[in-house]
Amino acid sequence: MQLQFVKVNPKEYQLICTREDGRTTVILLEMSGYLKHDLMHYVVEKLANLQNSFFGSIASGTNLDQVTPQAMKGSSYIFDNEARVTEVVVAILQGQNNEADFSDILKSIKDYLIVQDLLVPDFLSEDFCRQAVATHQDLMRRWNNLRIGSKLELVF
């Protein structure tokens, strides 16, 4: 699936997902609430080869407007275990930087997963966390260097 993160203005971006069959789904989002999170989703799902989390569900036919927090309130949509684990990993990693103590971060993720009665995935390691954070920081640097109207193109 082709992903385009388009810098619409200083506060908003448009996410365009073009599936293998050519169908697209598009949404306009606020940068402050979603960009770091969406880019970390991309990184975690791509590095771990996940197929049933956020971008995997979009690739499978779910439209972006169906999985916004607003749309999810009162919805009967149920996240599977992979998606729930991915949300935890993404939420914790998106705020980290390369100077982080990755052994502490890994412990935090594992502890939170256990409390939520979720299995710790095989891909989760200090090296995975370090690579995900470094890749995310690189994507954020690339994003920050874009001018209004430009786009960051990725393949999922």
84-117 pLDDT tens trace:
999 999 999 999 998 999 999 999 999 999 999 9
Q: What pLDDT score was predicted for residue 72?
A: 60
Instruction: Output the six-digit token pair for 84.
Output: 């729930």
56-62, long-range: CB within 8 Å, 24+ apart, which pairs? 57/83, 58/1, 58/17, 58/19, 58/25, 59/1, 59/17, 59/19, 59/20, 59/156, 61/19, 61/23, 62/25
> How would residue 37 be classed by pLDDT, with cut points 50, 70 and 90?
very high
Phi, psi of 49 (to 5 degrees): 55, 45
Write the pLDDT tens digit of every residue in 42-82.
Answer: 999 999 999 999 999 999 999 998 887 666 666 655 678 99
Instruction: Output the six-digit token pair for 74.
Output: 């009162």
Q: Where do the structural domains in the chain lie, given as residue ranges?
A: 2-155
* 8 pLDDT more than 70: yes
Query: Residues in the chain, how many?
Result: 156
Write the pLDDT tens digit of every residue in 108-155.
Answer: 999 999 999 999 999 999 999 999 999 999 999 999 999 999 999 999
Mean pLDDT, residues 31-39: 94
| Backbone region of residue 9 per phi and psi (left: phi > 0; alpha: psi in -120 to 50; beta: other values) | beta
Cα–Cα distance for residue pair 31/22, rounded to 1 Å: 26
3-state SS assignment for residue 24: strand
Cα–Cα distance for residue pair 93/37, rounded to 1 Å: 9
CA atoms within a 13 Å half-sphere pointing along the CA-CB vector of 85: 19
pTM of the shown model: 0.93
